[in-house]
């Protein structure tokens, strides 16, 4: 009989596909706060998170549902809503520089994750990301939605941005 086993039991959160520990170690060892962006079909969440040995601490958190409090009249799961969620989180945060944490999700160029990054940048926070990955201004303003459905998204987006800037 063998005294040792060659089998190593995987960590629970890795087995359940919830955490990539190698990526997390790289992000945490940078020493910078993280912009944690999570997407669902109907919402975008942006958390400004700092590592602590006892557990991560969120200094600011925003969900796209909060945009309704600022006058957003459209769907909260689209690209302009992701941009505004990042913009709002950037105004709530008390940091100058962040690194992006997208978890186990694959990044897609010009998608909602990078729209939230563009919103953080427009709020005055430095977030490293390639310029080719960020969506065009016409998409973050919602012109593509206006062309398809006739809804006045760009005008509403500017109103919400001014409302957010007025509060912070």
- The domain limits of the chain are 15-167
CB 81 within 8 A of CB 72: yes
CB 23 within 8 A of CB 6: no
* pLDDT tens digits in sequence order for the chain, 168 residues long: 567 778 888 889 888 878 888 888 888 888 899 999 999 999 999 999 999 889 889 999 999 999 999 999 999 999 999 999 999 999 999 899 999 999 888 888 889 999 999 999 999 999 999 999 999 999 999 999 998 998 899 999 999 999 999 998
Number of continuous H segments (helices) and E segments (strands) in the chain: 7, 4
Q: Pairing between strand 99-101 and 34-39?
A: parallel
Kindly list the distances between the CA atom of residue 142 and the CA atoms of 48, 136, 137, 151, in Å, as whole numbers in the listed order: 25, 10, 9, 9
Q: Which of 85, 31, 96 is nearest to 61 (CA)?
A: 85
pTM for this model (two decimals): 0.88
Structurally, at CATH architecture level, domain 15-167 sits in 2-Layer Sandwich (3.30)
Residues 119, 123, 124, 127, Cα dihedral to 10°: -30
């Amino acid at each position: 009989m063998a005294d040792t086993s060659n089998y190593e039991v995987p960590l629970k959160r890795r087995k359940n596909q919830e955490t990539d520990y190698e990526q997390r170690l790289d992000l945490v060892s940078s020493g910078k706060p993280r912009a944690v962006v999570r997407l669902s079909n109907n919402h975008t969440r942006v958390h400004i998170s700092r590592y602590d040995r006892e557990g991560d601490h969120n200094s600011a958190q925003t969900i796209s549902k909060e945009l309704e409090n600022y006058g957003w009249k459209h769907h909260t799961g689209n690209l302009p809503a992701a941009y505004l969620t990042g913009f709002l989180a950037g105004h709530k945060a008390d940091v100058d520089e962040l690194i992006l944490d997208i978890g186990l999700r694959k990044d897609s160029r010009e998608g909602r994750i990078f729209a939230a990054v563009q919103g953080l940048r427009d709020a005055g926070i430095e977030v490293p990301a390639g310029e080719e990955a960020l969506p065009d201004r016409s998409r973050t303003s919602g012109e593509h939605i206006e062309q398809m459905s006739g809804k006045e998204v760009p005008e509403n987006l500017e109103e919400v941005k001014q409302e957010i800037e007025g509060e912070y």
